[in-house]
Every structure is written in C-alpha cells, then in structure tokens.
Amino acid sequence: MINDSFGSDNHSGVHTEILKAMEKVNVGFSIAYGDDEYTKRAIEKFYEHFGREIDVYFLYNGTATNILGLKAVVDSFNSIICAETAHLNVHECCGPEKFIGCKLTTIKTDDGKLTVEKIKPYLTGFGDPHVAQPKVISITQPTELGTLYSVKEIKKLADFAHKNKMLLHVDGARLSNAAAALNLGFKEITKDAGVDLLSFGGTKNGMMFGEAVVFFDKKLSKNFEYIRKQGMQLASKMRYISAQFEAFLSNDLWLKNAKHANEMAKLLYEKIKNITEIKVTQKVECNAVFVMIPKKYIPTIRSKYFFHVFDEMNSIARFMCSYNTTRKDVIVLSEIIKKAVLEK
Ligand SMILES: Cc1ncc(COP(=O)(O)O)c(C=O)c1O
C-alpha cells in the first residue's frame, strides 16, 4: 500500500484532542448557527490570542474563508494583488472572480513572497474609471512554497498598502506553522504587524474542519454576517466547529502540532540535502519541502510514498509534513529517494 504521509497536511487524520472536544459537546441540544455557549467560548479563545478588538467568524473551509473574507472588503471594480502561486489564484477554481467578481493581479515570484518593489509597478490607475482599482494586497503566510515572511517584511507590506489606501490580507491556512517557526504569537505576526484581515486555518493542523475570518478593524466586518450566510458557509451545528477551535487554541495544541510538522520537514531536508542528483529548491522554513527530482526517478519513489509534483514542467515535487508525520516515515522516505537515484 502506498504511504500517504507526505501528500498534504490535509491527508492527516483528526487530532485525538479535537475529536474528544467534539464528543464533549455532542450532548443534548444547543442553539444553532453560533448562538451557543461553545461558540462564545471559542471566540474568547480567539480574543486570548489576538486581543479583544477583533471580529471573528467561523466557516467550514479555507477557500470560502479567503473568498468571503475578501468579498467583505472588495468591490467588483477593485483588484486584489497576489503572488502568481497564491492559492487564491491557482487552487480556488476562479472562485474569487465568480463570487467577488473582481480582478486578481498576479505577480511572478521565485519564492512565493511579495515585496513592495515587486508590487509597485502594478499600482497604477488609481482614480481612473477605465482601470480596476487596487484595493487589497493578499499574501500567504507561510507561502504556498513553504517560505516565511518575517514580521519586518509583513510590516513593510502593510505600511505600503495603507499608504496607498489599500488593505493587507493574509491567507493563514497554515498560520500556526508560521507562528511556530517564527517563535511568535498569532497577534504579533498579524495585527501588530498591520494586517487588516486574516484567513485563519485549523484543518491543516489537526482539526476535522473549520477555518475563521478574523477582521482586525471592526468596520471591515460590517456586512460579514450576511456575506457568510449568502456564501453558504453559516454552519447550523456551529458548536462542532467551535469545540474544535477551543481545543485547538488551548494548552498550546496548535503550537505542538505545528512545531512537530515543521521539525519533520527540517529532518527530511537534512536527510536529503546532500543527494547530488536532486535539489531542494526552496528554503525549508515551515512544513513543506520542495525538491527537484529528475522525472525518471519519480515513479519509483511514488510507488512507496505518494506526493504531488507541484511543478510538472520543472519536475519539482512537494513533500508536506503534518502534526502526525512520523520520524520513521521521514527516514524511510529519504532512504527510498537515495536508493532510487543511486540505482538508476
Ligand atoms: C494556502 C492555502 N490557502 C487556502 C487553502 C484552502 O483550503 P480548503 O481546501 O479548505 O478550501 C489551502 C488548501 O490547500 C491552502 O493551501
């Protein structure tokens, strides 16, 4: 049987603490649509981590969290600036274009990271009715290529956005991995750095389902209740998302899970970095390892461990680690890679 540990952090099961939390709330009756005591408790947890000046809303999945969060702040005549590799651009089936109806302005990068210098040439046409009006810079932290923005880099982007009367959005589907890698709290890497709205992820770090839109300026969330409902993401049995978030944000569960995933990626990197026939193409800063593996070796390795070839043209494979990736699997995978390239 093919081992699936490195395909995606989504391939993981649900952490037992999360399942226990869901079972605990699975008693009796509870008011639906988020008006229940469990949801209040989960929101309190968000306040503990981000401060009380936020508005937070729970949704089922990450795609909707990005699209509906952005819909709250963007009109159809606006543009959102993002990296070409952004999930928003590549893996949301033009959902932003359909549901927000705006333009995505995409920027080529080598490492998935936007910079002020890269964005500047695209900020044209302010006030010109013939031109889509730039409104949001959207970055992913950590990026889709496993790389990390420092707080200083985020601050620079936020200042630049605000100077241009724009907003900074963070797709934080894996924000826990970023916070663990930076050894900082969620607030320090978002609100304190000037981020305006955040897609906060739970699913990739041990939850069954559940993501959150966090608005750091309450004026931005004015219509979000309606947008979430119209966007078909208002969960009736909300308590099962809320219970997960309460557990996730308690006793450092998010941190333990993310730290482990990051450590496994570092270990994989250490084990394969000196194999001359392959090349690690991105800095290993969180829980992803990107490796250029000549096409001829891929079927052999993939017959034992599944992984995605992220870039077919350049034969770049992506190995994702998660909270339950084992040390043993990392070592066996690295040996299989070594053996495959030496045998050919
Ligand atoms: C960076 C990023 N953002 C958002 C998502 C969306 O998550 P979902 O698959 O839950 O819609 C993903 C999922 O792979 C992701 O990697």
Asked whether residue 66 falls in the same domain as residue 182, the answer is: yes
Q: Is residue 3 in a domain?
A: no
- Could you tell which of 85, 171, 207 is best to mutate to test the pocket of ligand 1, judged by most ligand atoms within 8 Å of the CB? 171
With a CB cutoff of 8 Å and minimum separation 6, the contacts of 329 are 3, 5, 6, 305
What is the structure's pLDDT at 344?
59
Residue finishing a domain among 186, 218, 248: 248
Q: Mind listing the pLDDT tens digit for each residue in 185-241? A: 999 999 999 999 999 999 999 999 999 999 999 999 999 999 999 999 999 999 999
157 lies in a domain?
yes
Is 257 found in the same domain as 195? no
Please tell me whether residues 146 and 263 are part of one structural domain: no
Q: Which atom of ligand 1 is nearest to the CA of 60?
A: 10
Indicate if 226 and 299 belong to the same structural domain.
no
Alpha carbon distance 33, 217 (integer Å) = 23
pLDDT of residue 128: 98
Domain of 125: which CATH number? 3.40.640.10
Q: Is the CB of 62 under 6 A from ligand 1?
A: yes
Residue range 238-259, pLDDT digits in tens? 999 999 999 999 999 999 999 9
Structural domain that includes position 94: 16-248
Point out the residues of the chain with pLDDT beneath 70.
344
Q: Which of 202, 221, 248 represents a domain boundary (last residue)?
A: 248
Handedness of CA 9, 11, 15, 20 (dihedral sign): positive
Number of domains into which the chain is organized: 2
Residue that terminates a domain, selected from 222, 248, 274: 248
Taking residue 120's Cβ as centre, other Cβ atoms within 10 Å add up to 11
Q: What is the position in ligand 1's atom list of the atom closest to the CA of 143?
A: 1
Is residue 4 included in any domain, yes or no? no
Do residues 264 and 233 both lie within one domain?
Answer: no
Q: Which of 63, 290, 310 should be mutated for ligand 1, with most atoms under 8 A from CB?
A: 63
Which domain CATH number covers 303? 3.90.1150.10
Q: Are residues 43 and 167 in the same domain?
A: yes
Q: Helix (H, G, I), strand (E, B), or coil: what is residue 320?
A: strand
The answer to whether residues 314 and 336 belong to one domain is yes
> Terminal CA-to-CA distance of the chain, rounded, Å?
23
Based on the fold, state whether residues 339 and 239 are members of the same structural domain: no
Q: Is the overall model pTM greater than 0.95, yes or no?
A: yes
User: Whose Cα sits closest to atom 13 in ligand 1?
Assistant: 62
Gap between the Cα atoms of 20 and 3, Å rounded: 26
